[in-house]
Every structure is written in C-alpha cells, then in structure tokens.
Amino acid sequence: MDISIVIVNYKSKGLTLSCLKSIKEAEWSGLTHEIIVVDNNSGDYLGEILAWQYPEVQFIQAGTNLGMGGGNNLGLARARGKYLVVMNPDTIALPDTWRRLYDYMEANQSVGVVGPKQFNPDKSVQISCYRWHSLLTPLYRRTFLGAWFGQKDLDRFLMADFDKNSIREVDWLLGSFLFIRAEALRRVGNFDDRFFLYFEDTDLCRRFYRAGFKVVYNPQAQIIHNHSRESARTPWYRFFTSRTTRTHVISWFKYLLKWRMR
C-alpha cells in the first residue's frame, strides 16, 4: 500500500463527504491507497452513509470524542501505507497533490513529514507553516498585547519573511494535512493524545525534528482548507465561557510542561 489517508470526523458529515469525493476524483497515477474515516462519536450516522456511498472506505466508530490526536491515532493504528496522510474533513486536495507529495518523499528520504500550500476558499494563501512558539506567542496571538508589543514575535512565528512559494524546511506544519513517512512515525510515535485539540501537530513535528527528520513545506502540492480558527476569533476575556479557548490555553500549558522543562 502506497498511501493511507486518515480523516477524523466530528459533527462535520457534509465536509467529510466532500473531502472523500475529492480524493476519489484525484489523479492517482497507479498509486495504491486506502481511506480510513474515524468518527469521534458524532451521532450523525456517518457510518451508514459511507457503507452506502463509499463501501471501500474503512470506518471506525469511536465510543467517545477522543480529540484530534486520539481520533487520528485510531486510524493510524489500522493504516498499512508506506506514507500516512492525516487530513481534516474541511480540506480538499487538488487532483495532483498526492502524486506530487509521494514523488517528493521518495526523492527525499531525510524528510519525515511534508505539508502542502494551503488556500482559503477565497483563494487567498493560508498560513500553514511556522517557527517555534516563544513563551509569549500564544498570548500575543490571543490578546491586544500582540498589536502593542508582540508584532515582531508574531512576524517571526508566522514566517512573514517567507513568500510561501518555495520548498523550505520549517519548524512545524498545520495539522490539517500532513503527509508522513510511516517508517519515521514508527520511530517518533503517534500523536500525543494528551493534546485533545491544538498543539498536537506542533508536538509531533517537534518529535520529528528531535529524531533527525526534516519537516518541509512544499507549495508544489496544494489544498483548499475551509479553516475557521475558533480559538483565535474568541476574545481573551471569554476564557471562562469559550470551550475552544480554554482547550487552546490548556493545550499550551501541557506543551510547555512537556517541552520547556527539557
């Protein structure tokens, strides 16, 4: 098996079906692939729909919401591909994306994970590659302090000096679409499921980096990502009422405890 694709669904049935349609219509050029859909206890009857529309898709029903890391780990445990793709349901890969990333990884054995250029639905370029956070980066991103004191740090973090049009080794990639070398993942381990949501992608890329594998942004492959940053749109003072904001902050502290103590 060349490529295993894992998609985690949580109450996003329509997006998941659109994502699957784009995969089916892709230019596979002789590559073998499998699709694994994990449902995080959505209660939306996705399994029944897939059995009817896409019976070849492997469906895993989780008994509870395991988060992005835990849900992907369920699918990765079943995957058989030489390369593993973690793909959000709100993404659509351009038809030649699969072949471009496969060929790139075949030619670059030191790369552990590669990510494509991502576009918003309005065709604007989406930021999807980053430098490591500083201690205050999340605070700058989530509060008025960024505009007052943190713009230099935010420009560094968001790679504002990089035009996003060339292949480049980066610190970490947005987890909406990760094309992973299975052999490398076996060495570094799957997602750390302590991160229910947010920072699971940052943590995984850091482990690739520490194990000696490159993390690469490749704009020759492209996807559309209908991304909504709920945590960033929520004002900082809504911490006690916004679940996504609380989850983001909690994941940041978990990340700090795991990496800043070393």
Helix (H, G, I), strand (E, B) or coil at 4: strand
Q: 200 near 255, Cβ under 8 Å?
A: no
Q: pLDDT tens for residues 100-150?
A: 999 999 999 999 999 999 999 999 999 999 999 988 777 666 666 556 666
Q: 72 pLDDT exceeds 70? A: yes
Q: Which residues pair with 86 in a beta bridge?
A: 6, 178
Angle at 49 between CA 44 and CA 55, to 5 degrees: 140
Query: Residue 128's closest CA among 140, 115, 137?
Result: 115
Separation between Cα atoms, residue 216 and residue 170, nearest integer Å: 6
The model carries a pTM of 0.92
pLDDT for position 21: 97
Q: 4 near 79, Cβ under 8 Å?
A: yes
Q: pLDDT tens for residues 15-63?
A: 999 999 999 999 998 999 999 999 999 999 999 999 999 999 999 999 9
Answer with the residue of higher pLDDT: 46 or 262: 46
Helix (H, G, I), strand (E, B) or coil at 257: helix
Placement of tokens 């699971």 in the chain: 200
Query: Residue 73's closest CA among 244, 226, 196?
Result: 196
pLDDT for position 45: 94
Separation between Cα atoms, residue 8 and residue 30, nearest integer Å: 26
pLDDT for position 162: 95
Separation between Cα atoms, residue 37 and residue 229, nearest integer Å: 23
Q: pLDDT tens for residues 170-181?
A: 999 999 999 999
pLDDT for position 246: 74
Q: Where are the domains of the chain?
A: 3-119+166-224
pLDDT for position 236: 46
CATH number listed for the domain at residues 3-119+166-224: 3.90.550.10
Name the phi and psi angles at 189, rounded to 5. 95, 160
At 139, list the tokens. 């605070």
